[in-house]
Amino acid sequence: MLGMTAIAVVRLHRLFGVVILFSIYSLLSASIFVALDAVDVAFTEAAVGAGISTVLMLATLVKTGRIEKRSGRHPLLPLVVVLITGAALIWGTQDLPGFGDPLNPVHQHVADRYIEQSPIEIGIPNMVTSVLASYRGYDTMGEVVVVFTALVGVLSLLGFSGSRGEKSTARGPNQPTPVLQVMAIPLVPFILLFALYVQFHGDFGPGGGFQAGVIFAVGIILYTLTFGLDEALALIPVSVVRIIAALGVLVYAGTGVVSMLSGGAFLDYSVLAKSATDGQHYGILIIELGVGLTVAAVMILIFFSFYDKAFRK
Amino acid sequence: MSELFSLFNYWVVVFLMMCGFYTVIASGNLVKKIIGLNIFQTSVFIMYISVGKVTDGTAPIVSADFSVYSNPLPHVLILTAIVVGVATTALGLSLVSRIKDAYGSVEDDEILDADSDERGSK
């Protein structure tokens, strides 16, 4: 099914259909992730792939036109290149270890330690969260900085000032549609509430800062899409969101500095409280909060700039 | 036969990867190229996650009922990669948007033509 959707995405020339199919494709791959035990990943993929990237691509299409021009180039050459590369890769898989085998090399290195020691050392049940926030805290901090940098790039490219435009443009999304608004009103608060649940329950169940940030942003995006950008800007001013985006990174890195000042290594949370597991627990909560703040603010701002670009100018 | 079937996950990955690759090199439309890149990216995600799966394992959340867990490390890597992926996609789309402003087109041959015209007129 995933393959079929992918083929359809490749073949279609109407880009609107392509984007919607891509959204379905993301949802399908999220269900595959669930089947493969990666609930945290599935969560993220469903919110990001089926939600945010679809909206961003649609906003770009408003600007760039929704029909792909049929190019005069012959598709044979790329097809041959792809077939040869694919064949080489398939041939290469012969040497790879089989699916699901517990003796695979990938399970031999540090995974055992994570699985056996993390409940004792960190004291929280969700291993994905403890690996994400504690064992590989440097990595995750890097990712947060990358997300933040992407925001800086988007803002400088699209030049979104956050000023409220005059309400003259008679494009569809700027005209309030009462049916959608009535539907959105009960949904938005629950989406935001769910985001908070995901944020703070990430230690015990699937969830955490990345998912929560994305889901929170989706709530705001739904509000913006139904009520218009001006209403949303009145609700959350851009200057505040900008500060929050930077604040999240600061909270993350600041936690590392505080643990250094308390006598540990950078991002070593064990020193933050009297017992090591308590310290780990606090540290993870705080940096997940930082991640959530940054991701939510970045996604909201990126969406605002795309929406602004698509419908205002 | 079961040995052959145990490599099925890689074949799915390769197939999706090639779909994405084909879109990137065969399509002239920049938005569609970005979608192709995204498909390519998802295939890599699926590869990592499927490598982390252990037969009869369960999601890596400690519970008294289970003793075999799938490998949490790939999950962590891919989880962050997805969010970074959407951020970079947004960056790419905003570049496309600016290219549309500057050239009035998002088809790569038209953009190249516009570039060579400009150079010819100088």
Identify the three-state secondary structure at position A12: coil
Per CB-CB distance under 8 Å, the chain A contacts of B81 are 143
For chain B, state the CA radius of gyration. Answer: 21
The whole-number pLDDT of residue A249 equals 86
Q: Which of A10, A77, A149, A293 has the highest number of chain B CBs within 10 A, making it the mutation to test binding with B?
A: A10
Q: Which of A45, A118, A210 has the highest number of chain B CBs within 10 A, making it the mutation to test binding with B?
A: A45
Closest alpha carbon to A12 in B97, B36, B111, B96: B36
Indicate the burial class of A262 (C-beta count within 10 angstroms; 0-12, 13-18, 19 or more).
Answer: middle
Closest by Cβ to B93, choosing from A60, A68, A125 = A60
Identify the three-state secondary structure at position A161: coil
Indicate the burial class of A108 (C-beta count within 10 angstroms; 0-12, 13-18, 19 or more).
Answer: exposed
Strand partners, B69: B58
Q: What's the pLDDT tens digit per position in A284-310?
A: 888 888 888 888 888 888 888 888 887
Closest alpha carbon to A47 in A181, A212, A199: A212
Task: Name the residue of chain B whose CA is nearest to A77's CA.
Answer: B26
Q: Which of A36, A121, A307 has the highest number of chain B CBs within 10 A, making it the mutation to test binding with B?
A: A36
Contact A158 B98 (CB under 8 A): yes
Determine the distance from the C-alpha atom of residue A245 to the mean position of all C-alpha atoms in its chain, rounded to a whole number. Answer: 14
Q: What is the DSSP letter of B104?
A: S
The whole-number pLDDT of residue B73 equals 80
Q: What's the pLDDT tens digit per position in B48-107?
A: 888 777 777 777 777 766 667 777 788 888 888 888 888 888 888 888 888 888 887 777
Average pLDDT, chain A: 77
Q: What's the pLDDT tens digit per position in A11-33?
A: 666 777 778 878 888 888 888 88
Cα distance between residue A230 and residue B26, in whole Å: 40
Closest by Cβ to A214, choosing from B19, B34, B83 = B83
The whole-number pLDDT of residue B35 equals 84
Per CB-CB distance under 8 Å, the chain A contacts of B66 are none
Whether residue B112 lies within 8 A of chain A, CB to CB, comes out as no
Contact A127 B18 (CB under 8 A): no
Contact B94 A53 (CB under 8 A): no
Per CB-CB distance under 8 Å, the chain B contacts of A102 are 54-55, 57, 68
Q: Which of A14, A37, A106, A277 has the highest number of chain B CBs within 10 A, making it the mutation to test binding with B?
A: A37
User: How close A154 comes to chain B (CA, Å)?
Assistant: 5
Q: What's the pLDDT tens digit per position in B91-121?
A: 888 888 888 888 877 777 787 788 787 776 6
**Residue A114, CA atoms < 13 Å, CB-side half-sphere:** 28
Contact B28 A69 (CB under 8 A): yes
ipTM: 0.78
Residue in the block written with tokens 């649940």: A197
Contact A96 B27 (CB under 8 A): no
What is the model's pTM? 0.81
Q: Which of residues 54-83 of B touch A (CB under 8 A)?
A: 54-55, 57-63, 68-83
Q: What's the pLDDT tens digit per position in A118-166?
A: 666 666 777 777 777 777 778 888 888 888 888 888 888 887 766 655 4
The answer, yes or no, to whether residue B3 has pLDDT greater than 70, is no
Task: Name the residue of chain A whose CA is nearest to B107's CA.
Answer: A69
Cα distance between residue A8 and residue A49, in whole Å: 17
Integer CA distances (angstroms), B105 to A31, A49, A222, B100, in order: 36, 26, 30, 5
Specify the amino acid at residue A24: I
Cα distance between residue A185 and residue A93, in whole Å: 51
Per CB-CB distance under 8 Å, the chain A contacts of B92 are none
Q: What's the pLDDT tens digit per position in A86-130?
A: 888 878 777 777 676 666 766 666 666 677 666 666 667 777 777
Interchain CB contacts (distance < 8 Å): A and B:
284
Contact B71 A106 (CB under 8 A): yes
Q: What is the DSSP letter of A165?
A: P
Contact B73 A131 (CB under 8 A): yes
A76-93 vs B8-26: helix crossing angle, rounded to 10: 160
Band of the pLDDT at A169, cuts 50, 70, 90?
A: very low
Residues 6+ apart with CB under 8 A from A113: none
The answer, yes or no, to whether residue A190 has pLDDT greater than 70, is yes
Contact B52 A127 (CB under 8 A): no
Identify the three-state secondary structure at position A120: helix
